């Protein structure tokens, strides 16, 4: 099976198979937002994956939008993550930290009473998950100097991740969070150098990519993008051109990989001319990780068809810590069920 073959991301990072554990927010960090021993055991059990991408991890105190998500900005958090990286490495696994800022997808309850920050003051409609009956509120538009300091926070987070023993980081540019908010016209109404034209809307992401790769190396930097707006985001005609521009710029950068952010990758988008992964594949020449509703048979078939290079598995990895062994042994999987989110097994 191709899925079970070794894959070299680049000269510095090589994976024992092509199965990736997708980033999965689990909200089990302690009340200081430090990853625990229990979290390290959860990842250790999944170290058979060719690559683990951790749950989204906050680059700063103001990056939070959900309860008990871990961070990578304090000494305690770096020490906490070391438990995970050492256990995964002892099992011969590889692990990247997904680094994250939620932007407008937050609420003052997570921010010491302050409003969420975003490219522009455009409110997300809807209820805050797991927070009783609270609605999202209008975010505060970031000042230009604040945008620059968040780029710096991403750089520091990447350095902290390396200090914590990670093999690399995945920049979370997907799923309607802060970076994605800069990329879309609906959420970016700025008229400074970070908005107004597609080049300007791309600037925040591209400067983060440059800052992170300069700090830790292109070989250790992956990126997740959602060219199809599907979650916490509305599409505006022309957004697809911003993504084409970005992919074209990224072609010269030799990142470790590009990863599709979507829940169901069978969805076709008119404005992308196909699925999100097809769009990435067509416009980007490096390694592509697909994700979103795949099983191993479909993943195997699509890798043979050269639709992508690596397959990320999310929910089935929650239900089956031994996912890779089950694929190897052709053993039936335990079905995922939302109630499984209540405990970290
Ligand atoms: C409980 C849960 C938490 C998730 N957390 C994250 C996250 O922290 N970062 C991220 O990029 N995607 C996150 N996702 C999306 C997954 O990485 C994945 O793309 C999605 O579940 C589709 O893959 P699957 O069908 O194999 O589950 C999450 C999905 C679920 C179900």
3-state secondary structure the chain: CHHHCCEECCCCCEECCCEEECCCCCCCCCCCCCCCHHHHHHHHCCCCCCEEEEEEEECCHHHCCCCCCCECCCHHHHHHHHHHHHHHHHCCCCEEEEEECCCCCCCHHHCCCCCCEECCCCCCCCECCCCCCCECCCCEECCHHHHHHHHHHHHHHHHHHHHCCCCEEEEEECCCCHHHHHHCCCCCCCCCCCCCCHHHHHHHHHHHHHHHHHHHCHHHEEEEECCCCCCCCCCCCCHHHHHHHHHHHHCCCCCCEEEECCCCCCCCEHHHCECHHHHHHHHCCCCEEECCCCCHHHHHHHHHCCCCCEEEECHHHHHCCCHHHHHHHCCCCCCCCHHHHHCCC
Between the CA of 320 and the centroid of ligand 1 the distance, in Å, is 15
The values of phi and psi at residue 58, to 5°, are: -70, 135
Given this model, what pLDDT does residue 133 score?
84
DSSP 268: -
How far apart, in whole angstroms, are the C-alpha atoms of residue 301 and residue 7?
17
Domains in the chain: ranges and CATH = 2-342 (3.20.20.70)
Ligand 1 atom at shortest distance from the alpha carbon of 313: 26
Q: Count CB-CB contacts under 10 A for residue 196.
A: 14
Between the CA of 85 and the centroid of ligand 1 the distance, in Å, is 21
Between the CA of 337 and the centroid of ligand 1 the distance, in Å, is 14
- Give the burial class of 160: count Cβ atoms within 10 A of its Cβ; 0-12 exposed, 13-18 middle, 19 or more buried: buried
Given this model, what pLDDT does residue 196 score?
98
* 267-304 b/e (C-beta count within 10 Å ≥ 16 → b): eebebbeebbbbbbbebbebbbbbbbebebeebbebbe
**Matching residue, tokens 């871990």:** 70
**Are 75 and 42 spatial neighbours (Cβ–Cβ below 8 Å)?**
no
Nearest CA to ligand 1 atom 14: 24
Nearest CA to ligand 1 atom 2: 24
Nearest CA to ligand 1 atom 28: 24
- Give the burial class of 145: count Cβ atoms within 10 A of its Cβ; 0-12 exposed, 13-18 middle, 19 or more buried: exposed
Given this model, what pLDDT does residue 268 score?
97
Nearest CA to ligand 1 atom 10: 23
Ligand 1 atom at shortest distance from the alpha carbon of 263: 22
Mean pLDDT, contiguous 10-residue spans, the chain (345 residues): 98 98 98 98 98 98 97 98 98 98 97 97 94 92 98 98 98 98 98 98 98 98 96 96 98 97 98 98 98 98 98 98 98 98 96
Given this model, what pLDDT does residue 335 score?
98
Tokens of 39: 């979290």
- Give the burial class of 154: count Cβ atoms within 10 A of its Cβ; 0-12 exposed, 13-18 middle, 19 or more buried: buried
Given this model, what pLDDT does residue 42 score?
98
Catalytic residues: 177
Given this model, what pLDDT does residue 325 score?
98
- Ligand 1 contacts (CB < 6 A) are 22-25, 55-56, 98, 172, 174-175, 224, 261, 263, 291-294, 313-316, 341
Strands 14-15 and 7-8: antiparallel
Nearest CA to ligand 1 atom 12: 23
C-alpha distances out from residue 192 to 150, 176, 199, 201, 330, Å: 16, 21, 12, 10, 55
Instruction: Among 3, 23, 59, name the best residue to mutate to test ligand 1's pocket (greatest count of ligand atoms within 8 A of Cβ).
Output: 23
């Amino acid at each position: 099976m191709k899925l079970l073959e070794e894959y070299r991301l680049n000269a510095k990072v090589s994976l024992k198979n092509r199965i990736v554990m997708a980033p999965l927010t689990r909200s089990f960090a302690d009340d200081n937002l430090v990853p625990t021993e229990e979290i390290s055991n959860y990842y250790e059990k999944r170290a058979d994956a060719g690559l683990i991408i951790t749950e989204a991890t906050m680059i700063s105190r103001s990056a939070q939008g959900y309860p008990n998500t871990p961070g990578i900005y304090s000494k305690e958090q770096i020490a906490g993550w070391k438990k995970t990286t050492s256990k995964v490495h002892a099992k011969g696994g590889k692990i990247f930290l997904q680094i994250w800022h939620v932007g407008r997808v937050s609420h003052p309850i997570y921010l010491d009473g302050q409003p969420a920050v975003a490219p522009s003051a455009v409110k997300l409609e809807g209820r805050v998950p797991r927070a009783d009956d609270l609605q999202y509120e209008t975010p505060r538009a970031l000042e230009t100097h604040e945008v620059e300091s968040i780029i710096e926070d991403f750089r520091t987070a990447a350095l902290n991740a390396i200090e914590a023993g990670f093999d690399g980081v995945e920049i979370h540019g997907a799923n309607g969070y802060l970076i994605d908010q800069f990329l879309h016209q609906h959420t970016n109404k700025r008229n400074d150098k970070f908005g107004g034209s597609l080049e300007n809307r791309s600037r925040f992401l591209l400067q983060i990519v440059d800052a992170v790769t300069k700090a830790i190396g292109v070989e250790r930097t992956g990126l997740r993008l959602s060219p199809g707006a599907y979650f916490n985001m509305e599409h505006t005609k022309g957004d697809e051109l911003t993504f084409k521009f970005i992919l074209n710029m990224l072609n010269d950068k030799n990142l470790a990989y590009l990863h599709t952010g979507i829940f169901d990758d069978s969805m076709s988008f008119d404005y992308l001319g196909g699925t999100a992964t097809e769009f990435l594949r067509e416009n980007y020449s490096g390694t592509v990780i697909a994700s979103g509703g795949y099983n191993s048979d479909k993943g195997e078939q699509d890798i043979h068809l050269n639709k992508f290079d690596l397959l990320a598995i999310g929910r089935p990895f929650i239900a089956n810590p031994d996912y890779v062994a089950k694929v190897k042994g052709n053993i039936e999987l335990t079905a995922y069920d939302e109630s499984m989110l209540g405990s970290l097994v």
